[in-house]
Chains A and B, each alone.
Chain A
Amino acid sequence: MSSLVLSPRSKTHTVRTTAIPGFGLTLGYTIVYLSLLVLIPLAGVFFKAAGLGFEGFWHVVSSPRVLAALKLSFGAALIGASINAVFGTLVAWVFVRYEFPGKRFFDAIIDLPFALPTAVAGIALTALYAGNGWIGQYLEPLGIKIAYTPLGVIVACTFIGLPFVVRTVQPVLQDAEKELEEAAASLGADRWQTITRVILPTVLPAVLTGFALAFARAVGEYGSIIFIAGNLPMVSEIAPLLIIIKLEEFDYAGATAVASAMLILSFILLLLVNGLQVWARKRHGGSR
């Protein structure tokens, strides 16, 4: 009898500061993990590049060939991600809102760019868009050359980025109740007003997330692009390829300098997109 009374009292000795246990342990793991996988390798890049001194670094980065490569890498990635933001949202809309035969099949196809080895994708795209390819042969007479030009880089960037936008927007659209559209219609809004004033603002944060992911993937993409780009210096040479070239010439400091420049630029751009997302989400009243 007395032991029954005592047992709950003994429990009160262990004082819990938070309701969720294991904070210290999990945070420790997180930091070790991030350090090993991300921070230490990246710090190594900057460390190696630092060997050049600022002047040497600037000399490498501001050389016309590197500048052209960086411009192409970031420009093509931004254009590709923008195209995906628009059409990926459209694709997600179709999959969420309509029923059609083969829907599951097409839905599965969306993920293929995730799974396909990038080299395979690059070779396939090149074969399609080359002057004698299935699609290229019709574009060539019109004066549009895709393979072995910057256009080809954009095509590859768009291809690999598509699933990111579709897969981030899809669940949000699914959640955005049909009732929202019905409510807008009952209040007198036409189709266009409903889409621009109700649906798009609702999915905007998700579109931005998809955009950021697609962009990040495209900037770092190597395998699929080098096949279709043709890799002409100053024209269709991407920055990751330039890094490889410099490595093959044993110019490790130069390679890490280009890599550092890419890292800094990517970081700034992702930070910007993040800021946009925070802004868009704030308009939702700070929830979700």
Chain B
Amino acid sequence: MDIKVRGIQKNFGSFPALGGVDLDIESGELIALLGPSGSGKTTLLRVIAGLEFPDRGQILFGEEDMADQPIRERRVGFVFQHYALFKHMTVLDNVAFGLRVRSRGERPPEAIIRERARELIELVQLAGLEKRYPTQLSGGQRQRVALARALAIEPRVLLLDEPFGALDAKVRKDLRRWLRQLHDKTGVTTIFVTHDQEEALELADRVVVMNKGRIEQVGSTDEVYEKPATPFVFDFLGNTNVLPGEVRGREVYVDGQTSAIVTDSIHAAGPVDVYVRPSDLRVTDAHAAGFDAVIRSMQRTGPIVRCEATAVHSGQAIEIEVPHLHHDTQALRAGQQVRLRLNQFSVFPRQTRKGGGALPDVVANAPAEYRERGRS
């Protein structure tokens, strides 16, 4: 079932939870709604489910307008963060619930309901636990019961609200992989909410990054990570260094340097912020394009070495991540001044305090293979 979200607005009192959201979801997709708390991602999920009603806008399942349909008419499978299992029912009864509450005409015979529930319990790999009560299961098992229960009604779309949020890291990883396989097997259009960028990138076909009730970017996992559309997306998807810079034509001058990085994907002029991830900074020879920094401290955490440094011109604190045993780390010492190369970076208009970027069209993502221009 493909889903279209059209101009959805929703206020809670005077707080705008969703400020005009548009989104197209294709049939069979696995979509992540990613954002910090308060970004409106859960509200959007609940609006699609029919647990909240929008102030304005349309939700289309295929061609059918769902705006006035309550949740029980929409046939959506909803999985809650804290499972919301019926504690007084066994696993089997929980899974069978959706079939048993159907009206007499549509309800399959009891034997078929049980059969179907057993199949689903097997699908979520809980065979043998049919007679247990939810309190006798682990968190991961409970969430799988919740999933089987949601799938029992043959939902047109499966909606998961932070499905792994209450689980510990190891279980979360296993369940994530398992959910991906389950989705590939069942092919049900699935939307899940998460604030964990790793989870979104690992699991989803496409990621919807949300902030303050609006969609910042929609794209494949590669797109949002490699080509973030806004500073927010860049910042939210990983660790970030921000350096002052300037763009002249296709030349980028980072941190007051006189040597420029040249790239074809930049086209404008003016002051910019240069965004670069700690893992995209490398120590290079003193004549290459980049900028200068002084190493303050170095700390090894597992396979990588993390360096705290200060940009020489702006005094900006920056972070560098280098693989341990990389030849860079051999020569590094605290107090040393080095030239840093930017393997990959993005530039955005300088963020001014008084709202709005000064240069709206300076948005660029430089690929790793940029040219360097002569030194001066």
Interface of A toward B, CB cutoff 8 Å: 177, 179-180, 182-190, 193, 197-198, 201-202, 283-288
Bound together, the chains give a CA A180 to CA B88 distance in angstroms of 12
Which interface residue of A182, A187, A202 has the most chain B CB atoms within 10 A? A187
A260–B49 Cα gap in the complex (Å)? Answer: 61
B88, A186: Cβ atoms closer than 8 Å: no
Partner of A187, one of B51, B80, B149: B149
Known contacts being A179-B80, A285-B133, A286-B135, is A185 close to B88, with CB within 8 Å? no
Decide if A284 touches B97 in the complex (CB within 8 Å).
Answer: no
Q: Cβ of A189 and Cβ of B84 under 8 Å apart?
A: no
Q: Is the CB of A285 within 8 A of B136?
A: yes
Q: Which residue in chain B gives the minimum CB-CB distance to A189? A: B101
Chain B positions within 8 Å of A, measured between CB atoms, are 49, 51, 70-72, 75-78, 80, 82, 84-88, 97-98, 101-102, 132-136, 146, 149-150, 152-153
In the assembled complex, which residues on chain A have CB atoms less than 8 Å from the CB atom of B134?
285
CB within 8 Å for A186 and B78 given contacts A180-B86, A284-B133, A285-B135: yes
Residues of A within 8 A of B101 (CB): 184, 187-190, 193, 197
Q: Give min CB distance, B148 to chain A, whole Å.
A: 12
Instruction: Please tell me if the beta carbons of A182 and B71 are within 8 angstroms of each other in the complex.
Output: yes
Which residues of the partner chain A approach B70 to less than 8 Å between Cβ atoms? 185
Q: Are B135 and A183 in contact (CB under 8 A)?
A: no
Specify which of B72, B80, B146, B153 lies most central, judged by the most chain A CB atoms within 10 Å of its CB.
B72
- Of the candidates B85, B133, B152, the one having the most CB atoms from chain A within 10 angstroms of its own CB is B133
Are B132 and A189 in contact (CB-based, < 8 A)?
no
Given A183-B80, A284-B88, also A188-B51 (CB < 8 A) = no
Q: Within the complex, what minimum Cβ distance (angstroms) separates B143 from chain A?
A: 13
Residues of B within 8 A of A286 (CB): 133, 135-136
Q: What's the minimum C-beta distance from A200 to chain B, rounded to whole angstroms?
A: 10
Interchain CB contact under 8 A, B136 and A185: no
**Complex CA–CA separation, A54 to B135 (angstroms):** 50
A182 to B150: give the CA distance in the assembly, Å: 12
**Chain A residues within an 8 Å CB radius of B97:** 184, 187, 189, 197
23 contacts between A and B (CB under 8 A): A177-B82, A182-B51, A182-B80, A183-B78, A183-B80, A183-B149, A185-B72, A186-B49, A186-B71, A187-B72, A187-B101, A188-B75, A188-B153, A189-B97, A197-B101, A201-B86, A201-B88, A202-B86, A284-B135, A285-B135, A286-B133, A287-B136, A288-B135
